[in-house]
Amino acid sequence: MSANKGLNLTLKVWRQKNQDDKGQMETYQVKDISTDSSFLEMMDILNEQLIAEDKEPVAFDHDCREGICGMCSMYINGEAHGPGRGITTCQLHMREFNDGDTIYIEPWRAKAFPVIKDLVVDRGAFDRIMAAGGFVSVNTSGNTQDANAIPIEKANADKAFDAATCIGCGACVASCKNASAMLFVSAKVSQFALLPQGQVEAAERVQNMVKVMDEEGFGNCSNTGACEVECPKGISLENIARMNREYLSASFKSEEV
Amino acid sequence: MSWMKQTFNSSIGRKFAMALSALFLMFFLLQHFAINFTSVFSEQVFNDLSHFMGTNPLVQFALQPILIFGVVYHFVMGFVLEAKNRNARAVKYAKNNGAANSTWFSRNMIYSGMVILLFLAVHFYDFWIPEISTKYIQGDMSGLLANGEFRYYEEMVEKFHDPIRTGIYVLAFVFLALHLMHGFQSAFQSVGARHNKYTPAIQKLGKLYAIVIPAGFIFIALFHHLTGH
């Protein structure tokens, strides 16, 4: 195997001091980046370089660095989590790029996700949507039924599991031309609506979650399908169709006038 | 009725209403095409059908108002949603690669829609306004010319003499095709009609509809332009 030649890259990175700062793109050069390094390692190298130059390092979100926590959130070269499918930013490797490339690195852009600093955005809107119904109420009376004792159709169990793999990273919102959160919300609605434990509160849940989603200022879905393509967990548009059905039937059937 | 207001002011409710109006408009377009197409092979059939559609009370006073409401709702809500969606992303990306994850038609529905709206203004000026004026202002419900023959075919053929008007119609139908390329299957998704077994067929049917119907309208316009007397 021949030795990897390092990449010399031009990075255009969004820099913004705080929520109130206007912010702008800054250009940086990084040299001799190994093609084996991950994108975030490349960002670490950039930050080492900036610190050595006595400059402010680039703030970005990251945690597990193995594609499961949903923290990393970069819009790279015009795509959420960069080029490549079914991966988060931390799973993106520098071998996807060529020597001499210019790489644009921006935060998620949505009114509902305000920039806190540089590439870090506040995704608290997702938490508030979850708090509005993304759970199953349980009592602590001590006689809760064992989940394994409830028969669930295999097809539904699989679909619920697929929906539940959503890590809430927000790539769907970032990719959507309308900054709509419907893929996220529909995954959360679906994972419960498909299971007997979740069905009791299904109607109330979908109405409350959609209400908060709308209040948070996300845009409207126009079925472009960009979210599904960019989603690191491959959440299907089928979930949005299910949420539409759940929401409409809940609205029409509800006893509230 | 506050539940209804709440439902149809929600993101999903609006999307549902957009889809319902779209489905109605696509059905309307199909019958409009079917009637227009008869003009290619039979002046008489076209005249008879036009007279029926133009004077039947059910068509005129039940379906026509629904159609007008559907058209107005669809474009007004289209603009409202576009404004809201633009507002949902105040700061744009410096670099955005939309082609990587979605079709051109789906991202530009507002532009294809605006061209169709402009076309509708021309089309209403050409046909609908003179029709309403003749029937309901001048009160002539006979549908006849001075020579005692039906006027519909003559009036239509005369309009397509003009190469500029014919050109505008042809161009508008191209944009209609682009709009339908995304719109047909999108309407089904919006009402929640998605199924592993049927959705691929709906998507194929949508593409077929989006090509065949506008191409058919283009054919009719060119046919009368080239063969008109």
User: Length of chain A in residues, anyone?
Assistant: 257
Q: B193: nearest CA in chain A?
A: A241
Q: Percentage of residues in chain A with pLDDT exceeding 70?
A: 98
Same domain, A231 and A141: yes
Q: What percent of chain B has pLDDT over 90?
A: 90
Where among A89, A116, A143 does a domain terminate? A116
Q: Indicate yes or no: CB of B98 within 8 angstroms of CB of A179.
A: no
Closest CA to B73 of B13, B124, B126, B159: B13
Instruction: Give a yes or no: residue A1 inside a domain.
Output: no
Q: The tokens of B32 are what?
A: 């409009």
Q: How many structural domains is chain A composed of?
A: 2
User: Which of A12, A179, A247 lies at the smallest CB-CB distance from B88?
Assistant: A179
Tally of domains in chain B: 1
**Domain co-membership, A135 together with A231:** yes
pLDDT at res. A4: 58
CA distance A248 to B192: 9
**So what's the pLDDT on residue A3?**
53
In CATH, what number is assigned to the domain containing residue A230? 1.10.1060.10
Q: Is residue A149 part of a domain?
A: yes
Task: Categorize the per-residue pLDDT at A230 as very low, low, confident or very high, splitting at 50, 70 and 90.
Answer: very high
Mean pLDDT, to the nearest integer, of A49-66? 97
Q: Is residue A22 domain-shared with residue A108, that is, in the same domain?
A: yes
The first and second tokens of residue B109, run together, are 């529905």
- State yes or no: pLDDT of A216 exceeds 60: yes
Residue B190 domain-assigned (yes or no): yes
Residue A54 lies in a domain: yes
Question: Span A26-54, mean pLDDT?
Answer: 97
Q: Quick check: is A156 in a domain?
A: yes
pLDDT number for residue B1: 62
In a domain, A47, yes or no: yes
Report yes or no: A20 and A114 within 8 Å, Cβ to Cβ: no
- Helix pair B152-159, B43-55: axis angle to 10 deg: 110
Can you tell me the distance from the alpha carbon of B123 to that of B133, in angstroms, rounded to the nearest whole number?
15
Contact B76, B136 (CB under 8 A): no
Q: Is residue A234 part of a domain?
A: yes
- Identify whether residues A73 and A127 lie together within a single domain: no
The owner of tokens 């299957």 is B185
User: What distance in Å separates the CA atoms of residue A39 and residue A37, rounded to the nearest whole number?
Assistant: 7
Residues of chain A neighbouring B190 (CB-CB closer than 8 A): 221, 223, 244
What's the mean per-residue pLDDT of chain A?
Answer: 94
Residue of A nearest to B12 (CA): A244
Sequence-distant (≥ 6) Cβ neighbours of residue B166 within 8 angstroms:
B160, B221, B222, B225
Residue A65 confidence (pLDDT) above 60: yes
Cβ-contact A235, A168 below 8 angstroms: no
Q: What's the whole-number average pLDDT of chain B?
A: 95
Statement: residue A45 has pLDDT above 80: yes
Are A156 and A195 contacting, i.e. CB atoms less than 8 angstroms apart?
yes
Lookup: tokens for B10: 């929600």
Q: Examine the domain organization and report whether A249 and A129 are in the same domain.
A: yes
Predicted local confidence at residue A1, as pLDDT: 44
Q: How many residues does chain B have?
A: 229
Asked if residues A73 and A108 have their Cβ atoms less than 8 Å apart, the reply is: yes
Q: Please, are residues A11 and A101 in contact by the beta-carbon 8 Å criterion?
A: no
> Are the beta carbons of B187 and B26 closer than 8 angstroms?
yes
Predicted confidence (pLDDT) per residue in B154-194, tens digit: 999 999 999 999 999 999 999 999 999 999 999 999 999 99
Residue B71 lies in a domain: yes
Q: Which two tokens stand for residue A30?
A: 């990084």
Whether residue A25 is contained in a domain is answered as yes
Tokens encoding A25: 């793109």
Joined tokens for residue B24: 């109605």
- Which of A116, A148, A164 is the last residue before a domain boundary? A116
Q: What is the CATH number of the domain that holds B220?
A: 1.20.1300.10
Domain range spanning residue B143?
2-87+105-227
pLDDT for A88-117, tens place per residue? 999 999 999 999 999 999 999 999 999 999
**pLDDT value, residue A207:** 96
CB contact under 8 A, A256 and B90: no
Indicate if the pLDDT at residue A54 is higher than 80: yes
Distance, in Å, from the CA atom of B45 to the CA atom of B36, rounded to the nearest integer, reads 10
Chain B residues with beta carbon closer than 8 angstroms to that of A213? 11
Q: How many DSSP H helices and E strands does chain B contain?
A: 11, 0
Contact yes or no for B179/B109 (Cβ under 8 A)? yes
- A18 and A86 housed in the same domain: yes
Please judge whether A25 and B190 are an interchain contact, meaning their C-beta atoms are less than 8 angstroms apart.
no
Query: Cβ A12–B94 below 8 Å, yes or no?
Result: yes
Q: pLDDT digit string (tens) for A238-248? A: 999 999 999 99
Retrieve residue A145's tokens. 């039924």
**Dihedral sign computed on CA atoms, order B183, B184, B187, B192:** negative
Q: Look at A55 and A147; give whichever has higher pLDDT.
A: A55
Q: Which residues contact B108 (CB under 8 A, 6 or more apart)?
A: B178
Same domain, A249 and A159: yes
Query: Which residues in chain A are closer than 8 Å to B103, comparing Cβ atoms?
Result: 224
- With an 8 Å Cβ cutoff, are B3 and A244 in contact? no
The domain boundary residue, chosen from A116, A150, A181: A116
Task: Report if residue A229 sits inside a domain.
Answer: yes
Report the pLDDT averaged over residues A187-209. 95
- Would the pLDDT of A77 be above 70? yes
pLDDT exceeds cutoff 80 at A141: no
A–B: how many Cβ contacts below 8 A? 142
Q: Is residue B144 part of a domain?
A: yes
Domain range for residue A51? 7-116
Per-residue model confidence (pLDDT) at position B143: 87
From CA A92, how far away is CA A57, in angstroms rounded? 21
- Indicate whether A198 and A234 sit together in one domain: yes
> A198 with A226, same domain?
yes
Which tens digits make up the pLDDT trace of A149-180?
A: 889 999 999 999 999 999 999 999 999 999 99
Which pLDDT score is estimated for B147?
86
Bridge-based pairing of strands A7-15 and A120-121 is unpaired
C-beta of residue A109 within 8 angstroms of C-beta of residue A4? no
Together in a domain, A154 and A107: no
Q: How far is CA A32 from CA A9, A74, B177, B227, in A?
A: 8, 22, 50, 70
Query: Is residue B96 domain-resident?
Result: no
Same-domain check for residues A102 and A145: no
Average pLDDT, integer, range B9-20: 96
pLDDT attached to residue B229? 60
Answer yes or no: do B95 and A77 touch at CB < 8 A: yes
Amino acid identity of residue A8, one-letter, is: N
**CATH number of the domain bearing residue A23:** 3.10.20.30
Answer whether residue A2 shows pLDDT above 50.
Answer: no
